Amino acid sequence: MNFALCRDDAVAYLRALPDRSVDLMVTDPAYESLEKHRAVGTTTRLKQSAASSNTWFEIFKNERFADFFAQAHRVLSDNAHLYFLCDQETMFVAKPIAEEAGFRFWKPIVWDKVTIGMGYHYRARYELVLFFEKGKRKLNDLGVPDVLAFPRVRGGYPTEKPVPLLQVLVEQSSSEGERVCDPFMGSGSTGVAALSRGRDFLGGDLAENAIERARARLLEEGGTEVTTSELARPGRGQLGLLL
Q: Are 219 and 23 in contact (CB under 8 A)?
A: no
Give the amino acid at 106: W
Q: What is the pLDDT of residue 53?
A: 37
CATH topology of domain 2-231: Rossmann fold (3.40.50)
CB-CB neighbours of 213 under 10 Å: 21
Q: Are 118 and 44 in contact (CB under 8 A)?
A: yes
Q: What is the pLDDT of residue 72?
A: 98
Q: What is the pLDDT of residue 156?
A: 72
Q: What is the pLDDT of residue 144?
A: 98
First to last CA, the chain: 10
Q: Kindly list the averaged pLDDT for each block of 10 residues, start to end, along the chain of length 243.
A: 97 97 96 59 46 56 96 98 96 97 98 84 91 98 98 80 97 98 96 98 95 97 97 62 34
**Nearest alpha carbon to residue 57 among 38, 73, 76, 82:** 38
Q: What is the pLDDT of residue 82?
A: 98
CB-CB neighbours of 117 under 10 Å: 15
Give the amino acid at 133: E
What is the SS3 assignment for 28? coil
Q: What is the pLDDT of residue 36?
A: 58
The pTM (predicted TM-score) of the whole model is 0.88
Q: Are 205 and 181 in contact (CB under 8 A)?
A: no
**Nearest alpha carbon to residue 156 among 123, 129, 189:** 189
Residues 6+ apart with CB under 8 A from 179: 21, 22, 23, 24, 199, 200, 201, 202, 231, 232, 236
Q: What is the pLDDT of residue 235?
A: 56
Q: What is the pLDDT of residue 116?
A: 84
